[in-house]
Amino acid sequence: MLLRRRATSKIALGVAALLAPTLLGTTATAAPATGPGSSVAAPATSSLTWQGCGGDIPATVECTTLKVPLDHRKPGGKKIDVSLSRIKVADPAERRGVLFFNPGGPSGSGLFYPLALSGLLPQSVKDRYDLIGFDPRGVGASSPLACGTTTADERLTYRPYKDATFAKDVAWARDIADRCRNRNKETLPHITTRNTARDMDLIRAALGERRISYFGLSYGTYLGSVYTQLFPRRVDRFVLDSAVDPQRVWRGMGQSWAEQAETAFDRWTDWTARHAARYGLGDTPAEVEGLFWDIVARADREPLDLGGTRFDGAEVREYIRWEITHPSVAARTLGLLRDAAAGKPVPAFPTFVPTDNELASYLAIVCGDTRWPTAPAVYRADSRRDSVRYPLYGDSVSNIFPCAYWDRPVEAATKIDNRVPALIVQNEWDSQTPLATALGLRRALKGSRLVTVDEGQGHGVYSLGISACADDVATRYLTTGRLPARDVTCAADPLPAADSRSTSQGPATAPARLPFSGR
């Protein structure tokens, strides 16, 4: 399930990267907003000029570029590009409006997400909406940011805490912040979620639409909720999948991964012990846990050779943190880690290393949306505490981060508190955007309904084969506008009797190195 989710995102990212240069010649300008949070009056017809996207993209996908203000407080000032794509409905008589997408991140390219999703969404949804993809400002083909980072900078964005290396971590965080600031002095303060939401409203206006519908995943749930707060009268039908708690952005969301990973780890060791006959990793949860931590200690002494890439203990911990919501996948990986620790050759472990643009745009959002502590002593104390409370990942997400040296945000974080209707869908055992954070968004969006997938695993729900019940609720909402009368609990679809992922020769997942990625 998670594999499908990541594969879909990688399709979208790869296509966007391939075709970004072909989009630069198509521009249009939307009418300016009357204020930082105001709606833009819709013109009678679209002001965009669409054309083919080029490359191998099907002719059914059209592309264009919209000019938007860098600083929405100065609509007549400098403009930046936001690149868009569209797949129109086949029968205009069935059309209801437009359905925007955001795949997560922050830093995820959504430009060709409609194309990537076209094979997953129900036909009844595709019959009613033009599917609209876009790269948020600073991302991909939309006036991309760059900080001049390297693979070494990017491989572990969240660094494990050690007393001996903390001074180096402080210097690293300061250096990354300085590089980003020096390369993007004028632009950086305006790459925020609030401004991306304002861009969305300019896209709406340029499309000639009075309201938009929206499907946002992971970070996309926060972007969608900010839009509901700034532009409540422009909201049609919003599906928010795998939700961020708006009261915990952004350091608090990172720390929530550590909290929830411990629960997921305990469930996984119990599951693996109950399947000892198949995996041979321990007859009790304590034996499975002991094996894992022995391997981590071994990797900390000497990094493991995992098919040509060397992993230290922190990287082993992060890899398992991603996989434990899929017990059979994590169990097979632990077996391979045991073999590597014994000096046996193992297949290559897939890894995800963000590009310079992905890291730069991610940092711009998480550091520019909210204020972070500035004193290194705070991070040292928090990391020491959380390494004990949440040993799998607590030290990493509480350690020093470039946001400690970021300039003060231009605007305060958006307080989400409204009664705009929306549908939130959430897996019970998602440790990346945990159920607790979905409940936080549900409290903030008082007009929303929450669909919880009981025993649902992985990151992402709608149209991913997680729960037919949850899919039905979301599809009915998008096609009819009917929200459930109350919050709903759906059963997860049964897993295959023999999970094919547990029988392949190598690790099945590539952990994303950035949060909220949906990858």
Residue 94, number of CB atoms within 10 A of its CB:
12
Q: Which of 459, 467, 502, 517 is catalytic?
A: 459
Q: Which residue has the tokens 């690293």?
A: 172
430 is catalytic: yes
- Residue 237 structure tokens: 């039908």
CB 115 within 8 A of CB 61: yes
CB 404 within 8 A of CB 213: no
Q: Helices (DSSP H) in 393-510: which residue ranges?
A: 394-398, 435-444, 468-480
Residue 372, number of CB atoms within 10 A of its CB:
18
- Ramachandran sector of residue 144 (left: φ over 0; alpha: ψ -120 to 50; beta: rest): beta
Ranges assigned E (strand) in 174-243: 212-217, 235-241
Distance of CA 253 to the CA centre of its chain: 12
- The CA–CA distances, whole Å, from 1 to 109, 262, 362, 450, 508 equal 21, 21, 25, 21, 11
Q: Which of 130, 395, 430, 471 is catalytic?
A: 430
Q: Is 27 exposed, middle or buried (0-12, 13-18, 19+ CB in 10 A)?
A: middle
459 is catalytic: yes
HEC string of 193-207 equals: HHHHHHHHHHHHHHH
Q: Which of 9, 218, 225, 361 is catalytic?
A: 218
Residues classed as catalytic: 218, 430, 459
